[in-house]
């Protein structure tokens, strides 16, 4: 039985938001007010579609966008964590579940030399169209009331575990590492013996660790992290 490491991406693997980082490729490194005002709660992916259309309208080429995205900083210790996972693929699998998009994540992981550490990426599909514009689609449809319309990370995780089980792969321990409010849903689906690791000072920690009696129903153990090295130490202890 192997260990499964599940990673969020923005403010977890990387120390910023990849969707807002891309704005640095625009001439003024900011979006016009009319565009920013179109952002609606729970509809971030639709908003990012408009952002990328605007960037395309500015005649910003794919190479220029990629150059900017490859400068997103990794969170302290994350490269060490991913390189450890890559060296121990016989003992562990690693997936990313993110509300970013497939193009950004692939570019950034390859720039860090750690794409091989990640077995699968579950995120919003993206591709460049015939105009050279990056188009972004919603990850999937779901009926979870507490998640954004485009992505329920609990559903993704459950579907992945079910598929793996069907193929004869079971996990002794699942580590779920994240930072945001949309990481609470999958964290609550973990079982006893699993470990959820919220980033210190971020929304997920506040939701899980400062909820008082409401957090008592959580089955997984909660371990707060500040760097990838904290996560690595916890994983090494579990694997050994």
What pLDDT, on a 0 to 100 scale, did the predictor assign at position 113? Answer: 98
pLDDT at site 146: 73
57 domain residue, yes or no = no
Residue 94 lies in a domain: yes
Cα torsion angle, 217, 222, 224, 225, sign:
negative
Catalytic residue among 8, 19, 179, 183: 8
The predicted structure's pLDDT at residue 195 = 95
Tokens of 234: 């916890």
- Give the 3-state secondary structure of residue 122: strand
| 106 among known catalytic residues | no
Q: What is the mean pLDDT of each run of 10 residues along the chain (240 residues)?
A: 96 96 93 93 86 94 96 98 96 94 97 97 93 83 67 92 94 96 91 95 89 66 96 88
pLDDT at position 140:
60
Could you give the number of structural domains in the chain?
Answer: 1
Q: Is 33 a catalytic residue?
A: no
Residue 83 has which token pair?
């390189």
What pLDDT score was predicted for residue 224?
95
Does residue 115 sit within a domain? yes
Domain that holds residue 82: 2-15+73-123+140-239
For residue 186, being part of any structural domain is answered with yes
* CATH number, position 115: 3.40.50.1000
pTM of the predicted model, to two decimals?
A: 0.93
Q: Return the pLDDT at 134.
A: 94
Q: Among residues 153, 163, 159, which one has the least CA distance to residue 196?
A: 153
Catalytic residue among 10, 19, 183, 194: 10
In a domain, 34, yes or no: no
In the Cβ-directed half-sphere of 55, how many Cα atoms lie within 13 Å? 30
């Amino acid at each position: 039985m192997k260990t499964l490491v599940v990673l969020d991406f923005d403010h977890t693997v990387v120390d910023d938001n990849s969707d807002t980082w891309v704005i640095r490729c625009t001439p003024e490194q900011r979006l016009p007010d009319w565009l920013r005002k179109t952002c609606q709660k729970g509809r971030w992916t639709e908003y990012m579609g408009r952002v990328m259309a605007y960037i395309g309208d500015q005649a910003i080429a794919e190479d220029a966008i990629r150059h900017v995205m490859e400068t997103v900083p990794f969170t302290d210790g994350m490269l060490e964590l991913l390189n450890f996972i890559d060296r121990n693929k016989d003992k562990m699998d690693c997936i990313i579940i993110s509300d970013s998009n497939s193009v950004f994540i692939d570019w950034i992981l390859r720039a860090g030399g750690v794409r091989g550490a990640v077995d699968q990426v579950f995120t919003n599909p993206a591709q460049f169209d015939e105009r050279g514009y990056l188009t972004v689609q919603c990850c999937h449809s779901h009926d979870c009331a507490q998640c954004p319309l485009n992505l329920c990370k609990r559903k993704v995780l459950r579907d992945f575990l079910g598929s793996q089980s069907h193929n004869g792969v079971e996990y002794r321990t699942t580590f779920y590492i994240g930072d945001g409010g949309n990481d609470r849903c999958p964290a609550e689906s973990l079982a006893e013996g699993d470990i959820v690791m919220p980033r210190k000072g971020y929304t997920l920690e506040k939701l899980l660790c400062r909820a008082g009696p409401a957090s008592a129903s959580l089955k997984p153990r909660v371990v707060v992290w500040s760097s990838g090295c904290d996560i690595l130490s916890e994983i090494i202890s579990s694997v050994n």
